[in-house]
Amino acid sequence: DSKSFDREVKSVCSYCGVGCQLSFKVKDEKIAWVDGIDGPSNESRLCVKGRFGFDYIAHPHRLTKPLIRRDDAPAKGLNVDPANPFTHFREASWEEALDFAAKGMSRLRDDTGKRVAGFGSAKCSNEEAYLFQKLIRQGFGHNNVDHCTRLCHASSVAALLENVGGGGVTATFNEIENADVAIVIGANPTENHPVAATYFKQFAKRGGKLIIMDPRGQGLKRHSSHMLQFRPGTDVAMLNAIMHVIVEEELYDKQYIAGFTENWEAMKEHLTGFPPSKMSELCGIDEATLRDVARTFAGARAGMIFWGMGVSQHIHGTDNSRCLISLALMTGQIGRSGTGLHPLRGQNNVQGASDAGLIPMFLPDYQSVADDGVRSAFNEIWGGDIIDREKGLTVVEIMDAIHADEIRGMYILGENPAMSDPDADHARDALAKLEHLVVQDIFLTETANYADVILPSSAWPEKTGTVTNTNRQVQMGRPAVAPPGEAKEDWWITVELARRLGLDWSYTHPSQVFAEMKLSMKSFDNITWERLEKEAVTYPSLSPEDPGQPILFADGYPRPDGRARFTPANVTAPAEVPDEQYPMILTTGRQLEHWHTGSMTRRAAVLDWAEPEANASMHPKTLRRLGIEPGSIMKVETRRGAINIMARADRAVSEDMIFVPFAYVEASANILTNPKLDPVGKIPEFKFAACRVSAT
Ligand code: SF4
């Protein structure tokens, strides 16, 4: 009851891109519990992470003082004493730590001009993401700034920008209420977007046809009308076969294609090479099912397509998304209520951080750094001839550039590449090689172990700022409690560093940053800080009263002649296929209870209690064949390295595959993963590598 808490603070969940609104109940300056409230994406619902995953912010491991690496610390590495994790660092004042951080970076900058790169965070606010990319671009004169979108939906965004002219979703996921058919491919919403999954289940309960396409079984399977458990890595073959049927049986929307698209004839011609009779063997789905799915989706009154990282994290991730876009375009399932394309975003603010320009090739609102007009507009706002015309390096490329001695320093805010980058040993060696590493975070993460200076920052429930969820809904985050000890809000730390790098920054509140963002970001037209204090707004908003547009592209596309494009895609084999030495397929991902690299959820008591041990899933038949008991420790090896991890039996995983979550440092999945990149989206192939598994 209202007497059992001192105050309530309305904010947004700190975990996934669904962006559920919630209310923190604060008692004695601590969050006592959390309730869901009526936000546009959750209507008071919360999942287990949103409801029970908040206590990480009060964990004793929180960083509360700035830290500087001791002069006598041994070589940088992960092997700190678990009983005394801070042993290689000494406490410092903010003044000393900020001076030390800035001096190291400016020394590298003034020495060479290009030797400091930045990873910002999709867990920070829009304003913090904007400031971070501005600091790298303005402070160092290059575009070597990126964040974890490169590891999740970079390929989806590349395909959307190329073919429909916008990187966001074309329809909110709640629009499924108005659909009669929906495809969910390469996504596991019951684990990774649980509140969105409740809408999908309700849709199925009302009679909507839910078509699931995934190499792994999943929770939505029992709500589905079709479950296509296709062979991993064969997305293009399967989708092209479905589109082949749509062409062959003339199920496409002639009027829509003629009015709103280009390159149709080439697409039609291309698809003749993908008959389901041939593709069926490749993708492992029988011809009748491929035909039935084609007829069901093309015949829908209103159809939507949702996808996740099962689509995007391949060397052909951009091609996978191109196919999904083509499928929507040829059936006219876009631009109307209950239709559209929706890549389900991962982090709570990965949409907003990308919109804010935390990517090496685009300034805010996906405006190209290579465009002279764009650069001069930003130069005018930022004051000076500042912005480099060359695209910067992406996440994995930055690690390679460190090994090649092209980058010598980094500023990493809220990212954990020692755990999240593919071929983690390669990434860790790169971090160890840096001359100067500044890490800003809330915990001594695996990455912070390699730092020269650590700046203690604020968790999401401790800060003020806006975030943008997977639905393009911009919402206000509010501080429920103060950061612990001397920890500070991230925007404040970035501003202090910028000043010490010689930049003339005078922001004293995130609202000032938001006002500056509006000068260059059309997506924020009609959205003001004051408005966001009162309500969530979906961009684009057409007037100060318009709550925003859930559906995009009703009247055409922001492309030449207003037309979307069909881009044909060919079948590409995964970068590393199983062979005699490594006969199985490794795939990686998340679990319901643990968030990404586990730094928050493994310190959240209820979540850690529910899923306390590193575990990997295999089919029970495969475990039997390999002589591995469920619950025992097995060894998983690839050409990059090996881990020991507990075996879990799971019939959802196909017999030639192992699924390893990437949240566990003691069995780090990314020791194993393949760093080969999609050539367009520059996303690594986390979803496919050759591996072998044995009993220990
Ligand atoms: Fe938080 Fe996502 Fe769960 Fe909503 S669905 S409560 S945003 S983790």
Q: Write the pLDDT tens digit of every residue in 575-633.
A: 999 999 999 999 999 999 998 999 999 999 999 999 999 999 999 999 999 999 999 99
Residues 6+ apart with CB under 8 A from 422: 396, 670, 673, 674, 675, 684, 685, 686
> What per-residue confidence (pLDDT) applies to 2?
59
User: Which candidate, 60, 123, 15, 62, places its Cα nearest to that of 595?
Assistant: 15
Confidence of residue 268 (pLDDT cuts 50, 70, 90): very high
| The pLDDT of residue 28 is above 70 | yes
Cβ neighbourhood burial of 600 (10 Å; 0-12, 13-18, 19+): buried
Confidence of residue 86 (pLDDT cuts 50, 70, 90): confident
> What per-residue confidence (pLDDT) applies to 78?
83
Give the closest residue (by CA) to ligand 1 atom 3. 47
The atom of ligand 1 lying closest to the CA of 47 is 3
Cβ distance 413 to 440 under 8 Å? yes
Cβ distance 475 to 467 under 8 Å? yes
> What per-residue confidence (pLDDT) applies to 208?
98
Give the closest residue (by CA) to ligand 1 atom 6. 50
> What per-residue confidence (pLDDT) applies to 113?
66
Ligand 1 close to Cβ of residue 15 (< 6 A) = yes
Lowest pLDDT segment from 19-33, 113-127, 273-287, 610-624 = 113-127
Q: How far apart are CA 287 and CA 400, in angstroms?
A: 43
**Mean pLDDT, the chain, whole residue set:** 95
Q: How far apart are CA 240 and CA 235, in angstroms?
A: 8
Q: How far apart are CA 171 and CA 342, in angstroms?
A: 6
The atom of ligand 1 lying closest to the CA of 18 is 7
User: How many Å lie between the centroid of ligand 1 and the Cα of residue 195?
Assistant: 6
Complex prediction ipTM? 1.00
Cβ distance 178 to 432 under 8 Å? no
User: Which of 22, 47, 460 gets mutated to test ligand 1 (max ligand atoms within 8 A of its CB)?
Assistant: 47
If you average pLDDT over residues 35-52, what whole number do you get? 96
User: Which of 12, 16, 593 gets mutated to test ligand 1 (max ligand atoms within 8 A of its CB)?
Assistant: 16
Taking only the tens place, the pLDDT of each residue in 488-513 is 999 999 999 999 999 999 999 999 99
Confidence of residue 85 (pLDDT cuts 50, 70, 90): confident
User: Which of 11, 15, 347, 595 gets mutated to test ligand 1 (max ligand atoms within 8 A of its CB)?
Assistant: 15
Q: At what angle do helices 317-330 and 154-163 cross, to 10 degrees?
A: 40
Cβ distance 315 to 158 under 8 Å? no
Indicate the helix (H) or strand (E) that contains 439. Answer: strand 436-441
| The pLDDT of residue 276 is above 90 | yes
Counting residues of the chain whose pLDDT is more than 70, the rounded percentage is 99
User: How many Å lie between the centroid of ligand 1 and the Cα of residue 477?
Assistant: 14
- H helices within 480-604, ranges in order? 490-500, 510-520, 529-534
If you average pLDDT over residues 523-546, what whole number do you get? 97
Cβ distance 605 to 31 under 8 Å? no
> What per-residue confidence (pLDDT) applies to 114?
66
If you average pLDDT over residues 40-46, what whole number do you get? 97
Ligand 1 close to Cβ of residue 46 (< 6 A) = yes
Confidence of residue 150 (pLDDT cuts 50, 70, 90): confident
Number of Cβ within a 10 Å radius of residue 84: 8
User: How many Å lie between the centroid of ligand 1 and the Cα of residue 501?
Assistant: 38
User: How many Å lie between the centroid of ligand 1 and the Cα of residue 227?
Assistant: 25
Taking only the tens place, the pLDDT of each residue in 99-128 is 999 999 999 999 876 689 999 999 999 999
Confidence of residue 1 (pLDDT cuts 50, 70, 90): low
Ligand 1 close to Cβ of residue 50 (< 6 A) = yes
Taking only the tens place, the pLDDT of each residue in 650-681 is 999 999 999 999 999 999 999 999 999 999 99
Ligand 1 close to Cβ of residue 20 (< 6 A) = yes
If you average pLDDT over residues 196-201, what whole number do you get? 97
| The pLDDT of residue 80 is above 70 | no
Number of Cβ within a 10 Å radius of residue 374: 20
The atom of ligand 1 lying closest to the CA of 46 is 6
Confidence of residue 149 (pLDDT cuts 50, 70, 90): confident
Q: How far apart are CA 123 and CA 346, in angstroms?
A: 10
Indicate the helix (H) or strand (E) that contains 479. Answer: none
Ligand 1 close to Cβ of residue 47 (< 6 A) = yes
The atom of ligand 1 lying closest to the CA of 36 is 6
Cβ distance 655 to 578 under 8 Å? no
Give the closest residue (by CA) to ligand 1 atom 5. 195
User: How many Å lie between the centroid of ligand 1 and the Cα of residue 19?
Assistant: 6
Sign of CA dihedral 125, 422, 189, 251: positive
CA distances to 10, 326, 342, 398, 491 from 160, in Å: 33, 11, 10, 25, 30
